[in-house]
Amino acid sequence: MQFRFHVEPGTYRLSLGFGPFEDTGTVMVKGLKEPLKLVLSKKVGFTETDIVVASPATLSISHKGYGDIRWLSLIEEN
């Protein structure tokens, strides 16, 4: 499963809920200068982080292993 967002330069708040089938799971955000790895546990399963985009980009959000991205949002901050 993979989600793609076409974004303009700016700061964005990424929020997501993830349910790994194992104790932990890794969600990857690619398309940034450096790929971002978010490790979530089965107990917590929620994270929020700010992402800074320097130039127009296509962000790709996916996960490794088995699990479900239950929801996600990417909102530009003012």
- Report how far residue 40's alpha carbon sits from residue 71's, in angstroms, rounded to the nearest whole number: 14
CB atoms within 10 A of CB 14: 20
Sort 38 into a burial class: Cβ within 10 Å, 0-12 / 13-18 / 19+: middle
- The pLDDT of residue 52 is 94
Alpha helices in 1-78 (DSSP H): none
* Mean pLDDT, the chain, whole residue set: 92
Is residue 42 over pLDDT 90?
A: no
Is residue 54 over pLDDT 80?
A: yes
Is residue 4 over pLDDT 90?
A: yes
Is residue 66 over pLDDT 90?
A: no
CATH fold of 2-66 reads Jelly Rolls (2.60.120)
CB atoms within 10 A of CB 12: 18
pTM: 0.87
